[in-house]
Amino acid sequence: MGERCEPIALKKHWSIELCGGTHVQRTGDIGLIHIVAESSVASGVRRIEALTGTTARLYLRQQDKRIYEIASFLKISPANLEERVRNLFNDRRKFEKELNNTRKNVVLNGKALQGRKGEITTININGISFMGGVLRNIAIRDLKTLVDSGKKQIKSGVVAFVSVSEDGKGSAVVGVTDDLINMLNAVDLVRIVSVVLGGQGGGGRPDMAQAGGSKGDKAEEAITALKAFLKG
């Protein structure tokens, strides 16, 4: 561009760059460098963020302090912190899996809902078996498993579950057995539920579809609307 610039060379030919403003006489003046972040800013371009000198030392001291505080809370030495955290994470995943399996078994046996509003029921609507009900705090992936199990139980028909989360949102899964998908589409059925739940439709396959909405308090009404549609 017709302007003069100053190159910076590290160990001769190891790295030669145009000066970006180091403000030091030599690289050794920079002292300690600690990289705190690395990211992509454009195709083929990486951004590295680092702290240097006194700021870097203060940052590392703060990190050490946090590690010792966490280790003290867990009543272990800092050297065993990583192993302890991994074990805690694995234990949590194990317990969550066991809890979900227990929920599924209880729900499918009907024990959790006996005598309560929202009990899972199986009825006949215009010659079509319908199993449905409102559940609590069941993840969407587990709802799908429940719907699959329900379809196997009724052999032929429609299965629909709505789960209400702790924050009041509703999640719904509707399944249609293979012998009925030529006359009933799970995507169409779940959209009926979604409208009542305040959702924006739904999606999936003809034999199984899911949807959600912010109005979990309308879960019973959503199941009722689906039954009304099947009645015609």
- All structural domains of the chain, each given as residue ranges with its CATH number in brackets, are 7-60 (no CATH), 111-231 (3.10.310.40)
Rounded Cα gap, residues 125 and 157, in angstroms = 9
Which two three-digit tokens encode residue 137? 């705090």
Instruction: Work out the burial of residue 194: count CB atoms within 10 Å of its CB; fewer than 13 is exposed, 13-18 middle, 19 or more buried.
Output: buried
Give the pLDDT mean for 172-180.
97
Name the more confident of 9 and 200.
200
Determine what percent of the chain is predicted with pLDDT higher than 90.
59
pTM of the model: 0.55
pLDDT at 150 over 70: yes
